[in-house]
Structure 1
């Protein structure tokens, strides 16, 4: 059974107010007031560098389970939201693998699922390891990008983007953070709603009900009810969307770990993993707890995974 062996994140030190980002991209005051007052967005973390290699290596440096186990890593997956993150001729993931000494690993990227790609990466890593037949083998999954382009700064109807990254070591089996159930649904009718184009109004209308449905499907796949979940580790798009999603689920919004929404913003596919690290440190995720990770990618893919810590 797929399990997350270790998980870490990198949160840049620099905080930038969402109003400052709105000014940079010439967003209207009405939108920024909505972000602050209703969406719970206050600031995001931004890297001093737009080179994603630096932020991925910083996440890996915080992953103690990797040190001394580099020879066991057979696969490296980079779960990306954006298809192009570097100039032609550069391969950031190969450079990261070389810097980490992952000589035995096959490295590749995942895209086309938007910000839901990270959860797909965990599940795919488990399938690859199971097919290898080596119980000691590991996979390394990266998530998170940098906001190197003005088009990546803000999703106008939704959120402000940040530069935090995450790294996960995955095993084919393990004693904790075992993957019990996964649900993924792609609704292609919303495929054109991707910045710099405006989001499809239908997507905005249906988002919360569709997210609630995929959460229920993941819980059913795991053989549990949503009432049994100790915490939901969300994508940090905004607080209001989770209030509405929780109403659809019949859950109190306090069940969702939203502490990072005001301070990190939405960090591409890395949010659920960053929230895992912080919820654990805050005592919101304890050994034996059932929990759920959820994320939505524009385009539009909805994903949810149930695990036991």
Structure 2
């Protein structure tokens, strides 16, 4: 639960130049024609950014550098890598510390946050909010970094549900900024589904049966905490596994077509931990984030964690 004022002061995203089609990625992964058809015709994927020659640092640091170019680095107290994968580098490498040092933020406290998979970015925003409230300086900021390389086949394609692409995003979080004002945060983890990718057919069916109820409960808790209703939410910004999941969710919630933003699924596919912030940047660049309107981040993380965060858009950040 949110315990005080918190703002997404600025958000940036980054993608490699190289693109591949769904069919090309399916061929690389050894998927069959039926799976290629599934991902394009049913799940709504088209192209994705994918550059095997790009390492983790090349992928995630450009967005963070873009943010630092227009703020005072000395105000950054925390650097957090919020990620979906438990391992993104050899165990001897402290990735978050390496990010901070390469960004010239050696003075900042750096750590990674995971175990909630693609819901980790919302948890990171909430955690740094608590840390910033402990700071005497009201101008103190945190840098939340998202993005990772899907380096195993298991991460690149999951149960005919998503194909992972390359994409990254970062945000500056503060207590006093002029950007998107966070108004609520709700997170629910259901440990009975903790096997995630390795769940058997019985648990998978149980999860499918219970998902609509869980989504409804989490969303209603988030909007109630923000002092509004689902009707007041202009757009839902979700993670991007596929279009089918969110079309079904919209129908289950009685939301009108287009209320859940899925246009980035065919553009980028699923960029693991970075989807939520990528969607924010896309909507901002398209002029679809209107000051004063309420929006909602919604993340589904394997394991399974459902997380929602309501925000009111403030002045647009360049």
Q: 1:197 to 1:166 in 2, by over 3 A?
A: farther
Q: Indicate the SS of the match to 1:270.
A: helix
1:40 aligned residue: 44
Q: What's the TM-score, normalizing by structure 1?
A: 0.94
Instruction: Provide the rounded CA distance (Å) in 2 between the counterparts of 1:33 and 1:245.
Output: 22
- For 1:112-131, list aligned pairs within 5 A: 112-131=115-134
TM-align CA RMSD: 1.8
* 1:132-189: CA deviation from partner (whole Å, max 9, x where unpaired): 1320100000111112222211112311111101100000233331110111111111
How many residue pairs get aligned? The number is: 308
Separation in 2, partners of 1:200, 1:124: 30
Equivalence for 2:211: 207
2:161 to 153, 158, 161: 158
Deviation of 1:92 (Å): 2.6
* Alpha-carbon distance, 1:67 to partner: 3.8
Instruction: Please give the residue correspondences for 1:127-146 in structure 2 after superposition, counting only pairs within 5 Å.
Output: 127-146=130-149
Find out whether 1:252 has 2:256 as its counterpart. yes
Correspondence list, 1:1-309, <5 A: 1-63=5-67, 66-194=69-197, 200-309=204-313
Q: Deviations over 1:91-117 (max 9, x none)?
A: 232222112111221000001101000
Structure 1: gaps spanning 5 or more residues: none
5+ residue gaps, structure 2: 314-318
Looking at structure 2, the residues matched to 176 and 277 of structure 1 have their Cα atoms a distance apart, in angstroms, of 12
Note the alpha carbon deviations across 1:41-68, whole angstroms, 9 max, x for none. Answer: 11211134352111111111332x5544
| Paired residue secondary structure (1:214) | helix
Q: Deviations over 1:190-240 (max 9, x none)?
A: 111226988823223433442232122111111111111111111111111
**CA apart distance, 1:9:** 0.5
Q: Report the TM-score, using the length of structure 2 for normalisation.
A: 0.91
Structure 1 residues 196 and 251, CA gap change in structure 2 (3 angstroms): closer
Tell whether the 8 Å contact from 2:95 to 2:112 is kept in structure 1 after alignment. no
Q: 3-state DSSP class of the match of 2:197?
A: coil
**1:184 and 1:301 in contact (8 A); partners too:** yes
Shift of 1:89: 1.8
